[in-house]
C-alpha cells in the first residue's frame, strides 16, 4: 500500500535532505520511500498537506505514564513533595487496572500531541501483573513505545527476574522495546548497580538512569559502569568535566526542563551538555507536575538556554526532540527523521491556525508558537492514527470514565483531597 503526503512544507531533520518549502513524502508498506519537491504516484492514497508542516514525529525518551490519573495535582509540588505523594502515598493503592488505564491514557495523550515514539519509565514496583498491565497498555496504544522497567523509588531489590521475564514476553520484535531502568550506585550500592549493568550487557538492553548531583557520573566511571547504551536523565548540578565522561563513553543525556525548573532541580543542562560534546535530548517526565506535550518542553528548553548565552537555534531544539532522542534509544535507523528507508513516523502541523499564522520560519514557529492543537495528522509506521485533529478508533469517553474512576478510587483509598489542598509533606 502506498501513501503520498503532498504539498506541505517538509522539515526532514535529515542533513542530506534539509527542508523543502513545498514537498512530497511517499510511503510504502509503512516506510518512507522518497522525499522530493514533487513525486508522481498515481496509485497512492493521497494526504493533502497544503497549509501543513510535515515533520518527523517527536521522540520522548523519559516519561512516567502510570501517573497520568493525577495530572495537574502536583503543579505546586517540589521534588520531595512529588516523591512523597506519588511513591509513598498513592502508588501503594495502584491495582493493575490503574496502571493500565493511566499508562494507556498517557501514551494516547503523547500520540495526540505528536509523540510517535515514547519511553515509558515504569517504577511502580509491585507485582508482575502491574508490569503486564503497563505492557498491555503500550501494546494497545498505536505508535512505537519503549518499556523501561526499573524498581520503585528507594528500593534496592534485584530486578533481574522481572527483566528476564518481561524480555521473554517482548522477544520477537514488534512495537514495544525493553530498556533497563537502572537506579545507580548511590541508591543501591555499587554491587547492585554493577549487576544491573552486567544484566543489560548480557541481554543487549539499553539503560536509562536518573542522575543526581555532582560526582554521580564520576562514580559510575570509577566502577566501569558507563556505556554507550546508557542515557542519563536530568544530571542537574553535574560539571562539564563529568558530562565529558558520559560523552566519551558514547552515552546520552535526557533533559526535562519544565520539571527541573519547577521542582527545584536547577537550570537545565542543555548548554553544559553541548560543551561536553553531548547532543542533549528532551523528555516530559511526569504530568502531575507539568504539561505532557513536547511543544512546551521545546519552548522552555529554548528560553532557558537562550537566557544564559543565546547560542541555540530553533532547529537545534527540533533535533533534540527527534533524531537525537531517537539515537539515544538506539532507534535512529528506524525513526527521528524523514529519511527514505525509515519508518513513516510523521506528523502534520496546521499552519493556518491563528496562533501560528503566518509561518515565516517553520522551525522557529514550531518552537516558539507550537502547541498540541496544531497536530492535525499523525502517522505511526505509515498508519494514520490521528486525522483532522482527532485520534482514530479510540473511544475517549469510555477511557475518560475509566481514568476518573481510577483516580477517585486511589485518592479515596490514600486519603487525599483533589481540591487544590493536597500538600504532601515528606518525612524528616
User: How does DSSP assign 302-328, residue by residue?
Assistant: HHHHHTTT----HHHHHHHTTHHHHHH
User: Strand ranges (DSSP E) for 248-341?
Assistant: 252-255, 281-282
How many of the other CB atoms lie within 10 Å of CB of 417?
Answer: 10
Q: For 236, list phi and psi in degrees, rounded to 5.
A: -60, 135
Asked if residue 20 and residue 129 are part of one domain, the reply reads no
Q: For 101, list phi and psi in degrees, rounded to 5.
A: -70, -35
Number of domains in the chain: 2
Residue 399 placed within a domain? no
How many of the other CB atoms lie within 10 Å of CB of 69?
Answer: 26
CA-CA distance, 351 to 348, in Å (whole number)?
9
Distances (CA, A) of 31 to 3, 4, 341: 10, 12, 6
Asked if residue 187 and residue 96 are part of one domain, the reply reads yes
Asked if residue 104 and residue 14 are part of one domain, the reply reads no
Q: Which of 283, 255, 252, 250 is nearest to 270 (CA)?
A: 255
Provide the phi-psi class of 187: left if phi over 0, else alpha when psi is between -120 and 50, else beta.
Answer: alpha
Asked if residue 163 and residue 15 are part of one domain, the reply reads no
Residue 366 placed within a domain? yes
Asked if residue 222 and residue 365 are part of one domain, the reply reads no
Domain that holds residue 157: 58-328
Burial call 360-376: b when 16+ CB within 10 Å, e when fewer: eebbbbbbbebbbebbb
Q: Which three cell numbers stand for residue 209?
A: 538512569
Asked if residue 48 and residue 62 are part of one domain, the reply reads no
By residue count, the chain amounts to: 428
Asked if residue 120 and residue 108 are part of one domain, the reply reads yes
Asked if residue 52 and residue 65 are part of one domain, the reply reads no
Contacts of residue 72, Cβ cutoff 8 Å, sequence gap at least 6: 287, 288
Digits of tens for pLDDT over the chain (428 positions)? 899 999 999 999 999 999 999 999 999 999 999 999 999 999 999 999 999 999 999 999 999 999 999 999 999 999 999 999 999 999 999 999 999 999 999 999 999 999 999 999 999 989 999 999 999 999 999 999 999 999 876 677 889 999 999 999 997 666 799 999 998 888 888 899 999 999 999 999 999 999 988 999 999 999 999 999 999 999 999 999 999 999 999 999 999 999 999 999 999 999 999 999 999 999 999 999 999 999 999 999 999 999 999 889 999 999 999 999 999 999 999 999 999 999 999 999 999 999 999 999 999 999 999 999 999 999 999 999 999 999 999 999 999 999 999 999 999 999 999 999 999 998 76
Residue 421 placed within a domain? no
Q: Tell me how far apart the 2 most distant CA atoms of the chain are, in Å.
A: 69
Residue 373 placed within a domain? yes
Asked if residue 45 and residue 114 are part of one domain, the reply reads no
Residue 122 placed within a domain? yes
The answer to whether residues 10 and 340 touch, using CB atoms and an 8 Å cutoff, is: no
Amino acid at each position: 500500500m502506498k501513501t503520498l503526503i503532498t504539498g506541505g512544507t517538509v522539515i526532514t531533520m535529515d542533513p542530506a535532505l534539509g527542508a523543502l518549502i513545498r514537498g512530497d513524502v511517499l510511503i510504502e508498506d509503512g516506510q518512507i520511500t522518497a522525499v522530493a519537491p514533487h513525486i508522481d504516484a498515481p496509485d497512492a492514497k493521497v494526504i493533502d498537506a497544503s497549509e501543513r508542516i510535515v515533520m518527523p514525529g517527536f521522540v520522548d525518551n523519559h516519561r512516567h505514564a502510570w501517573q497520568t490519573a493525577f495530572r495537574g495535582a502536583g503543579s505546586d509540588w517540589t521534588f520531595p513533595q512529588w516523591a512523597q505523594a506519588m511513591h509513598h502515598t498513592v502508588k501503594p493503592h495502584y491495582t493493575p487496572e490503574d496502571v493500565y488505564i493511566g499508562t494507556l491514557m498517557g501514551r494516547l495523550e503523547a500520540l495526540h500531541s505528536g509523540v510517535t515514539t515514547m519511553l515509558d519509565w515504569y517504577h511502580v514496583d509491585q507485582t508482575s501483573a502491574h508490569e503486564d498491565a503497563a505492557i498491555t497498555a503500550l501494546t494497545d496504544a498505536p505508535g512505537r513505545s519503549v518499556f523501561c522497567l526499573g524498581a520503585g523509588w528507594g528500593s534496592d531489590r534485584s530486578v533481574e527476574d522481572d527483566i528476564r521475564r518481561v524480555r521473554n514476553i517482548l522477544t520477537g520484535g514488534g512495537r514495544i522495546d525493553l530498556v533497563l531502568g537502572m537506579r545507580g550506585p548511590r541508591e543501591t550500592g555499587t554491587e547492585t548497580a554493577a549487576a544491573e549493568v552486567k544484566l543489560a550487557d548480557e541481554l543487549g538492553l539499553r539503560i536509562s538512569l536518573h542522575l543526581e548531583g555532582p560526582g554521580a557520573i564520576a562514580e559510575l566511571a570509577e566502577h566501569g559502569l558507563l556505556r554507550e547504551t546508557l542515557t542519563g536523565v536530568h544530571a542537574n548540578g553535574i560539571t562539564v568535566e563529568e558530562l565529558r565522561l558520559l560523552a566519551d563513553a558514547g552515552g546520552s543525556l535526557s533533559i526535562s526542563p519544565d520539571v527541573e525548573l519547577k521542582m527545584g532541580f536547577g537550570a537545565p543542562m542543555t548548554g553544559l551538555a553541548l560543551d561536553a560534546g553531548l547532543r542533549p535530548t528532551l523528555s516530559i517526565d511526569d504530568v502531575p507536575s507539568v504539561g505532557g506535550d513536547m511543544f512546551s518542553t521545546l519552548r522552555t528548553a529554548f528560553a532557558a538556554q537562550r537566557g544564559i548565552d543565546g547560542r541555540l537555534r530553533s532547529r537545534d531544539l527540533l533535533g533534540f526532540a527527534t533524531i537525537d532522542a531517537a539515537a539515544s534509544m538506539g532507534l535512529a535507523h528506524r525513526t527521528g527523521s524523514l529519511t527514505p528507508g525509515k519508518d513513516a513516523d510523521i506528523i502534520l502541523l496546521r499552519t493556518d491556525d491563528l496562533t501560528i499564522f503566518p509561518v515565516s520560519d517553520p522551525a522557529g514557529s514550531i518552537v516558539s508558537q507550537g502547541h498540541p492543537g496544531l497536530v492535525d495528522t499523525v502517522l505511526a509506521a505509515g498508519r494514520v492514527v490521528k486525522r483532522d485533529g482527532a485520534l482514530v478508533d479510540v473511544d475517549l469517553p469510555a477511557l475518560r470514565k475509566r481514568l476518573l474512576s481510577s483516580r477517585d478510587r486511589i485518592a479515596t483509598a490514600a486519603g487525599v483531597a483533589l481540591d487544590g489542598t493536597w500538600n504532601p509533606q515528606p518525612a524528616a
